[in-house]
Amino acid sequence: MWASRAVYLFILPGFLWYVVFHYLPILGNVIAFKDYSIFVGIRDSPWVGLDNFRRIFDDPAFATALKNTLIIEGLQLVFAFPAPLALALLLNSLMNEKVKRAIQSVVYLPHFLSWVIVIAIWQQLFGGEGFLNQILLNRGYEPVSIMNNPDIFKPLVVAQTIWKEAGWGTIIFLAALTKIDVQLYEAAAMDGAGGWRRLVNITLPGIRPVIVLLLILRLGSMLTVGFEQYFLQRGAVGPEAAEVLDTFVYFRGVVNGDWSFAAAVGLVRAVFGAVMIFASNWLAKKFFDEGIF
Amino acid sequence: MSMAETTNPRPDATMLTGEVAGPSRLKSSERPPWMEKPPFWVTALKTVTLAIIVLMMVVPFLHIFAVSFSSYKDVLGGGLILFPSNPTLAAYEAIFNGGIVVRALQVSVGLTLFGTLAQMIFTTTMAWGLSRPGVPGSRAILFVVLGALLIAPGIIPSYLLIKELGLLNTYQALILPGLISSFNLVIVRQFFMNLPQELIDSARIDGASEWHIFWNIALPLSKAVLAVVALFYAVSIWNSFFNAILYLQDSSKWPIQLVLRQYVLQGSDLATAADTSSNTPLPPARTIQMAIVVVATVPILIVYPFLQKYFTRGVLTGAIKG
């Protein structure tokens, strides 16, 4: 170990950062078992056992946030998850490399914009006095309410996610597609398999490991749909439609000062995420013979 | 991640630059002989679909740019604005004449520069240490790094940490919690592991210190990957919103993303965002709002070609697939 002392010096600053800023806060979750008061401090706040956890399930606002999160995640899984795969297959079928690259450059771009910018753009396009409504008004139609309509908020956020992330999501699928052996296609074509058959029997099985991997990670973050996209639009459509677990924890804890309760919600969510990762990994191994660990 | 580690711990260095295509890639622009020509309707459908997708990405940007350069008359007239008929810089003059937008831009530029520098120092040094072979315990530390990808500390404990450290309402609170991204660290580490070992060995025989090898040999050989990682860091600081909402109470310290939310999404009175000292009336609110959106977007558009040059089939797949 002494021989490697110079190397340890390189590792040390980063290692300390991980301990202080990543693992130490994880210990801070003990306040979920206490009645934490910001004036008394973590150490001196009294223990309350599982009281905070019992409160979670009696809380109607939590029920709303959980319901919204699950519905949105379900919609994302059905629509936003396969979107990059479909786009990747479409891009991959292009023969002209230049056209393909040009399209890739365009569709990757929104990934690098912040949610604030993305929602500002959507607001300008579909908001009350936006692009779309101007056109409708000029043609003598009634304006439509899209950005502040609680009834369509959930499909709206899925559409926003697809617009922002589907292009970027293709990268990993395109990489996996290039790894499929061309000889397989050639042999299949010789045997008379058409384009559709080759897609179903060669392409999709060929990228199955990547699909399964992404699905496992996705299920692990099932209760984490994100913060900014919902936080930014919560005012326009109201918490009944837009409250998700992340925003719920923020408003209950940081804004309302119910720290212990919010920490308990965060902890339940983290444990659920870990269980989901292991469970989906186990299922993937059992049924597809693939997994991440 | 851990699977990727074991299957192929030393990927081709060229994967990171994304310059070399896979072995079985088709030659560009050529249909292989076994592939039948698709029927006309398939080609037509594909073309139309792709055209719609591209338009859906491009038109919004054109529209935003156009509105930000439009005059009062154009905006009032409404309708389809893709090219301003009477272009004017009035909205930009209003926001650049001082006031909160200029300050927010200064804050964001400063945070991005200092933050990226700090992130690069912490990331490259740790990545170098973890890339060295035969160091007892480095495997365990690597698990600490990768474990961070799976377990997040949570909003409440993170906030309490920053509060306990006395960093609420400081700029350090916006940089420190995101100082290292495990993802970027793994990318840099893998690149370091692929540097020619003979070069490092011979330098060591000549008596070069670990720091000398890192600074004079490893870093210069890794410019491409360091540039990508730095750009990724820079973009994420420029875009960061959550930490600022969480840790900054003082609106005079706001970075551009928070100003964007306040004046564009929440429609706060723009008189405070723009110059009010002159006697000329302000340009229409909509054009000022879109000018703020453009100003926050342009830096990303500027670095985008550089980012793009490297990441296609490169950086990401190198790290994820191993």
Q: Tokens in use for B225?
A: 């990957």
Same domain? For B199 and B80 the reply is no
Tens-place pLDDT, residues B150-206: 888 889 999 999 999 999 999 999 999 999 999 999 999 999 998 998 999 999 999
DSSP state of B74: H
Q: pLDDT at position A2, please?
A: 74
Residues in chain A within 8 Å Cβ distance of B138: 7, 11
By C-alpha distance, which of A121, A148, A164, A159 is closest to A240? A148
User: Domain for residue B263, yes or no?
Assistant: yes
Let me know if residue B297 belongs to a domain. yes
Does residue B320 or residue B307 have the better pLDDT? B307
For A172, which of B36, B56, B316 is closest by C-beta distance?
Answer: B316
Please report residues of A whose CB lies closer than 8 A to that of B3: 291-293
What pLDDT shows up at residue B50? 95
Q: Where are the domains of chain A?
A: 31-288
CA–CA min distance A251, chain B (Å): 10
Q: At what angle do helices A97-108 and B40-68 cross, to 10 degrees?
A: 40
Scanning A136-175 for CB atoms below 8 A from B yields 137-138, 163, 167, 171-172, 174-175
Predicted confidence at residue A42, as pLDDT, reads 85
Is B111:B257 a contact under the CB 8 Å cutoff? no
Distance from CA of B311 to the nearest CA of A (A): 9
Q: What percent of chain B has pLDDT over 70?
A: 80
Q: Which is more confident, A2 or B96?
A: B96
Mean pLDDT of B1-26: 39
Which pLDDT score is estimated for A163?
Answer: 97
Q: Between B2, B38, B126, which is nearest A14 by CB?
A: B126
**Domain ranges, residue B211:** 94-321
Q: Which of B88, B103, B125 is the last residue of a domain?
A: B88
- Which residue from B221, B241, B238, B242 is spatially nearest to B230, judged by alpha carbons? B238
Q: For position B151, what pLDDT does the model report? A: 82
Cα(A157)–Cα(A153) distance, integer angstroms: 6
The pLDDT value recorded for residue B277 is 54
What pLDDT does residue A83 have? 97
CA distance A170 to A91: 9
State the amino acid at position A276 in one-letter form: M
More confident residue, B69 or B38: B69
Contact B231, B306 (CB under 8 A): yes
Burial B94-106 (b: 16+ CB within 10 A, else e): bbbeebbbbbbbe
Q: What is the pLDDT of residue A263?
A: 95
Reported as a single tens digit per residue, the pLDDT across A160-185 is: 999 999 999 998 899 889 889 888 99
Sign, Cα dihedral of A43, A47, A50, A55: negative
B246 inside 8 A of chain A by CB? yes
Per-residue confidence (pLDDT) for residue B255, from 0 to 100: 96
A&B contacts, CB < 8 Å: 271
Q: Give me the residue from B25, B38, B80 closest to A178, CB to CB.
A: B25
Q: Which amino acid is at A176?
A: A
Distances from the Cα of A222 to the Cα of A32, A225, A269, B181, angstroms: 21, 7, 9, 22
What's the pLDDT at B272? 60
Angle, helix B285-311 to helix B40-68, in steps of 10 degrees: 130
Tell me what the pLDDT averaged over chain A comes to.
Answer: 91
Place of tokens 């009281």: A51
Nearest CB to B31; choose among A38, A95, A124? A95
Q: Calculate ∠ Cα A53-A56-A62, nearest 5°.
A: 150
Q: Output the pLDDT for position A87.
A: 96
Cα of A94 to nearest chain B Cα, Å: 8
Tokens of A103: 């399209």
SS3 B146: helix
For A18, residues 6+ apart whose C-beta sits below 8 A from its C-beta are B144, B145, B148, B180
* Number of other CB atoms surrounding residue A126 within 10 Å: 18
Residue of B nearest to A257 (CA): B156
Place of tokens 């926001």: B95
Q: What would the two tokens of residue A222 be?
A: 């099932």
Q: Which residue of A has its CA nearest to B58?
A: A106
**Can you tell me the mean pLDDT for B106-115?**
97
Same domain (yes/no): B137, B84? no
CB-based contact B210 A6, cutoff 8 Å: yes
Is the pLDDT at B18 greater than 60, yes or no?
Answer: no
B242 touches chain A (CB under 8 A): yes
A157-174 burial, b at 16+ Cβ within 10 Å, e below that, comes to: bbbbbbbbbbbbbbbbbb
pLDDT at A76: 95
Confidence band for B13, pLDDT divided at 50, 70 and 90: very low
Percent of chain A at pLDDT above 70?
A: 99
Q: Could you give the CA distance from residue B301 to residue B58 in angstroms, rounded to a whole number?
A: 13
Q: What is the pLDDT of residues A24-78, one digit of tens each?
A: 999 999 999 999 988 888 888 899 999 999 999 899 999 999 999 999 999 999 9
What secondary structure does DSSP assign to A112-124, as a single string?
Answer: GS-HHHHHHHHHH
Q: Does B62 touch chain A (CB under 8 A)?
A: no
The CA distance from B52 to B58, in Å, is: 10
Return the pLDDT at A89.
Answer: 94
Do B191 and B296 lie in one domain? The reply is yes
For residue B320, pLDDT beyond 50: no
Maximum C-alpha span of chain B: 75
Give yes or no: residues B50 and B138 share one domain: no
| pLDDT for A119 beyond 50 | yes
Residue-level pLDDT at B270 = 67
The residue type found at A120 is A
**Helical ranges in chain B per DSSP H:** 2-7, 14-17, 40-68, 72-77, 90-96, 100-131, 138-150, 155-164, 172-175, 182-193, 197-205, 210-212, 219-221, 223-239, 242-247, 256-260, 285-311, 315-321
Flag whether B21 is in a domain. Answer: no
Give B21→chain A minimum CA distance, Å.
9
Residue A19 is which amino acid? V
For A120, residues 6+ apart whose C-beta sits below 8 A from its C-beta are B260, B264, B265, B289, B293
Closest C-alpha to A32, from B245, B169, B153, B144: B153
Q: Is B134 on the interface with A (CB under 8 A)?
A: yes
Q: Is residue B16 part of a domain?
A: no
pLDDT of residue B139: 92
Give the number of domains in chain B: 2
Residues sharing a CB contact under 8 Å with residue B7, sequence separation 6 or more, in sequence order: B322
User: What is the tens place of the pLDDT at every residue in B73-110?
Assistant: 676 666 557 788 778 898 898 888 878 899 999 999 99
**CA distances (Å), origin B296, targets A161, A170, A271, B104, B257:** 20, 26, 37, 10, 7
Tell me the per-residue pLDDT of A180-224, one tens digit each, with 9 for 90 and over: 988 899 899 888 888 888 999 999 999 998 898 888 888 888 888
My answer on whether B186 and B75 are in the same domain is no
Q: What is the Cα Rg of chain B in Å?
A: 25
Chain B residues closer than 8 Å to A195 by CB: 36, 38
Per-residue model confidence (pLDDT) at position A179: 87
Find the CB nearest B34 among A21, A119, A190.
A190
Q: Are A173 and A84 in contact (CB under 8 A)?
A: yes
As a whole number, mean pLDDT of residues B235-261 equals 94
The one-letter amino acid at B212: H
Q: What's the pLDDT score for residue B157?
A: 94
B97: which DSSP letter?
Answer: S
The confidence score (pLDDT) of residue B177 equals: 95
Polymer length of chain B: 322
Residue B317: predicted pLDDT: 46
**Cβ neighbourhood burial of B196 (10 Å; 0-12, 13-18, 19+):** exposed
Q: Is B190 within 8 Å of B319 (Cβ atoms)?
A: yes
- Tell me how close the Cα of A292 comes to any Cα of chain B, in angstroms: 6
pLDDT of residue B22: 42
Q: Which residues of B touch A106 (CB under 8 A)?
A: 54, 57-58
**In whole angstroms, how far apart are CA A36 and each of A31, A133, A162, A192, B281?**
6, 49, 40, 70, 52
State the pLDDT at residue B15: 38
A44 touches chain B (CB under 8 A): no
* One domain, residues B154 and B218: yes
Asked if A217 has any chain B CB less than 8 Å from its own CB, the reply is: no
Judged against a pLDDT cut of 50, whether residue B321 lies above it is answered with no
Same domain? B164 vs B68: no
Instruction: Please say if the pLDDT value at position B280 is more than 90.
Output: no
* Residue that wins the pLDDT comparison between B224 and B145: B145
- Type of residue numbered A171: I
B154: Cβ–Cβ under 8 A, 6 or more apart, which residues? A25, A26, A29, A249, A263, A266, A267, A270
Residue B26 has pLDDT above 80, yes or no: no
The CATH T-level fold of domain A31-288 is: MetI-like fold (1.10.3720)
Residues B197, B65 share a domain: no
Give me the pLDDT at residue B4, please.
37
CA dist A292 and B13 (Å) reads 24
Q: Could you tell me the two tokens for A250?
A: 């923020």
Mean pLDDT of chain B: 83
Q: Which residues of A touch B61 (CB under 8 A)?
A: 121
Query: For residue B158, what is the nearest residue in chain A, using CA coordinates?
Result: A25
Measured CA to CA, the distance from residue B201 to residue B137 in angstroms comes to: 22
| Residue B148 shares a structural domain with residue B289 | yes
Residue B21: its pLDDT value, please?
Answer: 41
CATH value at residue B284: 1.10.3720.10
3-state secondary structure of A47: strand
